[in-house]
Amino acid sequence: MANSRDIIVEQEDANCRLSTWVKRNDRRLNFNSVNTLCRKGLIRVNGIKAKASHRLVIGDVITIPSFSLSITDDVASAKIDPKLAKLLLDAVIFKDKHLIALNKPEGLASQGGSSQGTRHVDSYKSTLQFDAKDSPRLIHRLDKETSGILLLARDVKTASTFATLFRDKQVEKIYWALVEGVPKKEKGILESYIGDVDIWKPRSNLGLIEQKKSRQYNNKKKALTFYQVIEKIGSKYAWLELKPITGRTHQLRIHCSALGNPIVGDRKYKNSEDKNSHDLPYSFKKLFLHARCVTFIHPISKKTIEIEAPLPEHMGSVWKHFGWKF
C-alpha cells in the first residue's frame, strides 16, 4: 500500500490482539476506528486483510497506514531535520546488502509514540535507504533512554528472517550498565514475571512477581536475565554485563532495580536519589545502559557476525574516570 509502513512483531507483542497492538501504539485511535481500518483492509498482517481480533505471532509483518502511529503528522510529509538525518548517517556502524546496524544515541526513540512526534528513527529511515529499493525496516526496538545497537533490515525477507532468529533466541545481545551499589553475588540469573510496566512503582512488587502469586497475575510474562559484575568501585558502583534471555519491555531496568542495584540515571525504576552521584564526572540524569554487542549467524552469508557499538560520551567518560578498560 502507498503511504504505509511495515512493522515486525517482536516477542513481547506475541499473542496480542491486533486491535490492542494498534491502539497501544497510537492512543488517538479507539477500537471502533481500528475495526474500521481493518475492515477496509488498510491494516494488514503478512499482506493479508486481517480482523481486529487477530492474534499476533512473532515474525508477523503488520502493514499500517503512515498516518497512524504518528501522533502529530504523516511521517512521509514531515519536514526532515538535516541535523537529525546526519546524526543517523553518522551512527551507522555496519551495513551490507541486507542489514544496517546503528549505534543509536541516548535520547532518540526507535519508534513514534504519544509524545515523540516525528523525531524518531522510524520516521527518518528513508535517510538510511542508500542504494536499496526501499527504506529499511526496524527489526527490534531500544528504549528512548538506552543507547547502542539497533538493527534494521533492508528488505522484507531479511526482516522476517530476523524476527524468527529473535524468537528462537539465535541473536545474542550484550548490554553494559553502570549500577548503584554492588550486587551480593558476582554473577547469576535474574528470574521474574513482569507485567504492565506502566503500573510498576518504586518500593512495590507490581512489576516483579513470583509465578505462584495467584490468578490476578496471569497476564505476567516470564523474564530472564544473566548478569555478571565486570568491575566495581568499592561498594558505590558496579559495571554489569547483562544478557537478556527473554525480551520484555524494560526488562533490564526492572531486573537491576529488583536486584537492589538500579541503573544510574534510571528515574523510572529507582527508589531514591543516588547519593554518590557527585562522584561522577558526567550528568547522572542520562541512563547508563548501552546495547554493546550483538552476535548472530548471518541469514544469507551464514557467517558469524559480531557487531560492537562504542560507548556514548556520558558512559565513556565515566569508564575512563574509573580507569576501566573497554
Mean pLDDT of 280-290: 80
Average pLDDT, stretch 206-229? 63
pLDDT at res. 94: 97
CA distances, 31 to each of 251, 291, 312 (Å): 28, 35, 41
What global pTM score does this model have?
0.76
pLDDT reading at 263 higher than 80 = yes
**Which run of H or E residues covers position 85?**
helix 82-90
Nearest Cα to 247, choosing from 2, 14, 66, 3?
14
pLDDT at 283 over 80: no
Distance between CA 163 and CA 8 in Å, rounded?
7
pLDDT category, 72, cuts 50, 70, 90? very low
- Residue 325, CA distances (Å) to 72, 210, 304, 318, 319 in order: 44, 38, 25, 11, 7
Instruction: Evaluate whether 136 touches 125 at the Cβ level (below 8 Å).
Output: yes
* Mean local confidence (pLDDT), 48-75: 71
Average pLDDT over residues 276-302: 83
- Mean pLDDT is highest, among 15-24, 77-86, 204-213, for 15-24
Over range 74-94, report the average pLDDT: 79
Write the pLDDT tens digit of every residue in 88-104.
Answer: 999 999 999 999 999 99
Is a pLDDT exceeding 90 seen at residue 33?
no
What pLDDT sits at residue 306? 97
Q: Is pLDDT above 80 for 112? A: no
Residue 256, pLDDT score: 95
Q: Which of 26, 143, 266, 274 is catalytic?
A: 143
Q: In this structure, are residues 148 and 175 in contact, taking their beta carbons and an 8 Å threshold?
A: yes
Look up residue 89 and give its amino acid.
L
Neighbours of 317 (CB within 10 A): 14
Sorting pLDDT into bands at 50, 70 and 90, what band is 68? low
Higher pLDDT, 46 or 252: 252
Q: Which of 76-90, 199-213, 239-253, 259-273 has the highest mean pLDDT?
A: 239-253
Report yes or no: 56 and 15 within 8 Å, Cβ to Cβ: yes
**How many Å apart are CA 159 and CA 221, to the nearest integer?**
25
Residues 47/61, Cβ–Cβ less than 8 Å: yes
**Which of 194, 69, 221 lies closest to 141, judged by CA?**
69
User: Parallel, antiparallel, or unpaired for β 221-233 and 208-209?
Assistant: unpaired
pLDDT digits (tens, 9 = 90+) for 191-206: 888 864 433 444 334 3
207 pLDDT more than 60: no
Asked if pLDDT for residue 74 goes beyond 80, the answer is no
Average pLDDT over residues 46-58: 87
21-35, 187-201, 268-282, 284-298 — most confident range: 284-298
Task: Please give the average per-residue pLDDT across 45-59, as a whole number.
Answer: 87
Q: What is the pLDDT of residue 271?
A: 59
Q: Any idea which residue has 529507582 for its cell? A: 270
- Residues listed for the chain: 326
DSSP state of 128: G
The stretch 51-55 carries a mean pLDDT of: 90
Q: Structural domains in the chain?
A: 4-168 (no CATH), 173-322 (3.30.2350.10)
Q: Is the predicted pLDDT of residue 174 greater than 70, yes or no?
A: yes
Average pLDDT value for residue range 48-58:
88
Mean pLDDT of the chain: 82
Predicted pLDDT at 242:
98
- Active site (annotated) includes residue 143: yes
Q: Is residue 218 predicted with pLDDT exceeding 90?
A: no
Residue 14's pLDDT band, with cuts at 50, 70 and 90, is confident
Taking residues 278-289, what's their average pLDDT?
Answer: 76
